Each structure stands twice: as structure tokens, then as C-alpha cells.
Amino acid sequence: MKLYTFDPAPNPQRLKLFMEYKAISIDTHQVDFQGQEQRSDEYLAIIPTGTVPALVLDNGDILTSVVAMTHYLEALYPERPLLGSTPEEKAAVLDWNHRLFTEVFRAVADVFRNTSPGFEGRALPGTQNYAQIPELAERGAHQLQHAFGVLNGELSERDFLAGSTFSMADIDLLALLHFAGWSIKTKPYDSLEHLLAWQQRAQAALEQSN
């Protein structure tokens, strides 16, 4: 098995935290984002999506989404489960994964990629060149603030996102807050006390892995 990744990027970060918590190590190649290695002919010959992370399995199959990689790895390494134990927990973790990825990560990425000079003409990851659209950045900023409020409400009712147990849903949200902090300098307002208290709790649970 071989992992192609670039640890500081947000989706690689989700996978990195998952692997650290479960003490999984895999032969890894850190892709040179600075040098645009992910768009090179050599990289595209191995990973046609031109994205990271990507996991090449021993049978040659390639996984290009964190959700698939975590499901595969959890099946191989069931200790310290992060994807839920009961049918309800498993469904809740997947539900949060989908909501956070399609709505909230997307909102932060819309702001970041449609405003940063470094992403001019590359507003979406992958092999195609897309122009920046300033209105998407504006929409993303609103969407993110709305999502923070919704999350604050949800977290007033339970300790962790998917219930009483720390899970991949919490890792996804921790990675998302980190991403929003460095990329678009946005963090939840102090008034969102349940979200901020959860952040402390989830960070402590994550660090128990070390």
C-alpha cells in the first residue's frame, strides 16, 4: 500500500489525524505542492485525479477520497474505532462526514480558492483550470457563519458530534476549524460557547492517542 499526500492540506490533515489516532503507518510520499507535483505527468500517470490524499492498494486499486480511505483502513485496523460501533453510530458518523464535507469544507474552500492570488485560474482542485468567482467567496463566508451557528446548537445537546463517543466526525470538524483558521483567518465567535467547549473536548480526546 502506498499513500500520496501533502500533510498540511485540509483533506490530507483529516486522514493524518485518523491514522495517528489509530497508530497506523503506511509507506508515504509527500507530494511537492509548491512545485505543483500533483499536476505533473508523472503524478497524473499514477493518480489521474491530480489530488491528494490518494491511497494505492496492494491490488492496484486507487482510493481518492478520505471517506473511502478511512473505511478501508478501519476494516484493516479495527482497534480504536473511529467510524462508530453500532449501526446508529456508523450512520451518524457518515451523515456528519457528508454534511461537513459537502457544506462546510466547501464553504471554506470557496472563500479561500476564490480569493487567494495563488489560486488564480485554479479555483478547484484537480486537473481542470477554473476561473475564480468572487461571489462564491462571499456566499462561502455566509454559509460558514451559518454552519458555525448550527453546529453550536447541535453541540449543546451532546459531548461529541456523532453522540457520546469521539469519532471521525470530530476529527473532520477539528481539521475544518484548523483549515478555516489559517486559510481565511476565520474562527467561531466567542459567543458560540458549545462549539468552543466541544473543540477543547475533542482536541483532548484526540491527544489521548499520543
Ligand X SMILES: N[C@@H](CCC(=O)N[C@@H](CS)C(=O)NCC(=O)O)C(=O)O
The nearer residue to ligand X, 140 or 155, going by C-beta atoms, is 140
**Least separation in angstroms between CB 121 and ligand X:** 11
163 binds ligand X (CB under 6 A): no
Site mask, ligand X, residues 109-148, x = CB under 6 A?
A: ----------------x-----------------------
**Least separation in angstroms between CB 9 and ligand X:** 4
Q: Considering all CA atoms of the chain, what is the largest pairwise distance in Å, rounded to the nearest integer?
A: 50
Whether 10 and 179 have beta carbons less than 8 Å apart is answered as: yes
CA distance between the termini of the chain: 24
Q: How many residues bind ligand X (CB under 6 A)?
A: 10
Query: What's the CA gap between 41 and 63, in Å, rounded?
Result: 19
> In whole angstroms, what separates CA 155 from the centre of its chain?
19
Whether 74 and 83 have beta carbons less than 8 Å apart is answered as: yes
Q: Contacts with ligand X in 26-85 (CB under 6 A)?
A: 38, 51-52, 64-66
**Least separation in angstroms between CB 176 and ligand X:** 11
Angle, alpha carbons 83-109-34 (nearest 5°): 100
**Least separation in angstroms between CB 65 and ligand X:** 3
**Least separation in angstroms between CB 210 and ligand X:** 24
The nearer residue to ligand X, 16 or 152, going by C-beta atoms, is 16
3-class SS of residue 88: helix
Residue that is written with C-alpha cell 457563519 in the block = 145
Q: Which residues bind ligand X (CB under 6 A)?
A: 9-11, 38, 51-52, 64-66, 125
